[in-house]
Amino acid sequence: MARTSGIPVGVDVRERLRAAQRAEAQAITSVQKALAAEAEASARLDEIILRHQAGLSKAAHAVHAAQATLVRTSGLERAAALLGVSSRVLRSAVKDSALDSRVQATSNNTPAATPAPTIAPTET
């Protein structure tokens, strides 16, 4: 089988080469589709994780607030005995609850937009 300019001469050889190139192109397309599907699935998973983390965070804030309320009502040692936790845990909950309420208070107090000052025209 003689070659001229790097192209196979025989018809059957050229056909096998074209078939191999088609198979290769299809395999590359399959890999690209799989990579796109993987990226999409990963993005959906990240969204779900973030949504559930936000829910867990809200629940933790609610627990801290409830624990802090019990500490204010019954005192630290009594609340610890009632809940079966250490006073250190409740101290942390009270501190976290106070921080949560400060953050919430500052995030709700956004100043209103103030109008730009106007300059009265002067007579010359």
Q: Where are the domains of the chain?
A: 13-104
The span from the CA of 46 to the CA of 39, in Å, is 10
What pLDDT score does 35 carry?
A: 98
Q: Considering only residues 50 and 121, tell me which one the structure prediction assigns the higher pLDDT.
A: 50
Beta-carbon count within 10 A of 94 CB: 20
- pLDDT tens, residue by residue, 67-94: 999 999 999 999 999 999 999 999 999 9
For the record, the structure tokens of 12 come out as 């059957």
Beta-carbon count within 10 A of 88 CB: 10
Cβ-proximal residues to 10 (8 Å cutoff; 6+ apart), any chain:
1
How many alpha carbons fall within 13 Å on the CB side of residue 36?
6
Q: Considering only residues 22 and 1, tell me which one the structure prediction assigns the higher pLDDT.
A: 22
What pLDDT score does 53 carry?
A: 96
Instruction: Name the pLDDT band for 108 (thresholds 50, 70, 90).
Output: low
Average pLDDT, rounded, for the chain: 85
Q: Which helix (H) or strand (E) holds 7?
A: strand 7-8
* pTM for this prediction: 0.53
What pLDDT score does 99 carry?
A: 81
CB 71 within 8 A of CB 94: yes
